[in-house]
Amino acid sequence: MTKKIYYKYRKFSERLLISLLKEEIFVAHPNTLNDPFEAMPSLQMDLSLREAEKLLMKFDSTDNDTKNLEKIEKLRQESHELVDDEYNTDGLNSDEIYTLILKNYIERKMRINETKGVFSVSEKYNCPLLWGHYGDEHKGICIGYSIPEEYKENFWKVEYCDNREIKATDLIKKLDGDKEAARLITKKALGTKSQEWGYEKEWRLIGAPETVIKNIEIAEIIFGFRCEPVNVEIIVRLLQGRRGAIKYFKMQLDKKSYGLEKEVFDPEEITRYPPTSAQDTRDILSAFTPIDEAN
């Protein structure tokens, strides 16, 4: 059976070369991603005020009961004071204000407690927007990965929707140790995005943030339409003799439409792409940190 390939668009850099040589991928913290809504679900308060108070206290389980009750009382007092505030233009009563305050505090606690990161890939290798945004304006490369079976449980297709809410009742279940509820909340926090991002056709490998995952098989290397010939040569020479067959392609402009096509590239014919200067490839490679000294 043909393996499904997923694509990662990358800029040419020393970090890229190290990841290719070591067959590593990096799991990014949500705060470093380009969408400010990452790991920022909104809370649907399907609880009574007393249940919401108990939920808030679950996040502060290390505090004693007296300290938690003092916090709750302080929040209640704050809600009473805000009833007559000039900014209460909607005329909310104290319970309504108190609900909003609790919701705000619980959301902040929930986001602080998110302990997962993501490695993002796409189903598509020929998206001009992805090449423009992540492939260094078509000067970079696109790496085709085959995701091992052992990672499939935490490899999710991103859902594109307009709702980023999670239920407070599901959050309680998660804090009580319910694994299915925990997975549901992580899926909403890291596995859903606005429909505006739908063109990316994204999949995500979920793991511990800011960690490296090794031995992810590289199936394809696709060079961008504007990728410098010397960068093509560096990557091909670096990956010579690797285990498993890597297929090489070069992106080309479609002759009739605004689309992109990948054309088979024979690495044996690398001499067709000589360096743009008299500098020998070995001299270029010597500028990079040896792989056994990296990290």
Q: What is the pLDDT of residues 132-186, one digit of tens each?
A: 999 999 999 999 999 988 999 999 999 999 999 999 999 999 999 999 999 999 9
The structural domains of the chain, with segments of one domain joined by +, span 1-39+117-295, 42-112
What is the Cα–Cα distance from 29 to 207, expressed in whole angstroms? 10
Neighbours of 73 (CB within 10 A): 10
Q: What is the pLDDT of residue 161?
A: 95
| pLDDT tens-digit map of 41-98 | 999 999 998 898 888 888 766 555 556 667 777 777 777 777 667 666 677 788 888 8
What is the Cα–Cα distance from 9 to 282, expressed in whole angstroms? 26
Phi, psi of 231 (to 5 degrees): -70, -35
Nearest alpha-carbon partner for 58 in 218, 227, 178, 174: 174
The 3-state DSSP class for residue 285 equals helix
Phi, psi of 255 (to 5 degrees): -75, -20
> The whole model's pTM is what?
0.82
Quickly tell me which residue has 């959050």 as its tokens. 171
pLDDT above 70 for 288: no
Phi, psi of 4 (to 5 degrees): -75, 135
Quickly tell me which residue has 């809504």 as its tokens. 37
What is the Cα–Cα distance from 185 to 191, expressed in whole angstroms? 9
Least confident piece of the model among 21-30, 84-93, 109-118, 260-269: 84-93
What is the Cα–Cα distance from 272 to 286, expressed in whole angstroms? 22
pLDDT above 90 for 100: no
What is the Cα–Cα distance from 191 to 114, expressed in whole angstroms? 13
| pLDDT tens-digit map of 111-135 | 877 789 999 999 999 999 999 999 9
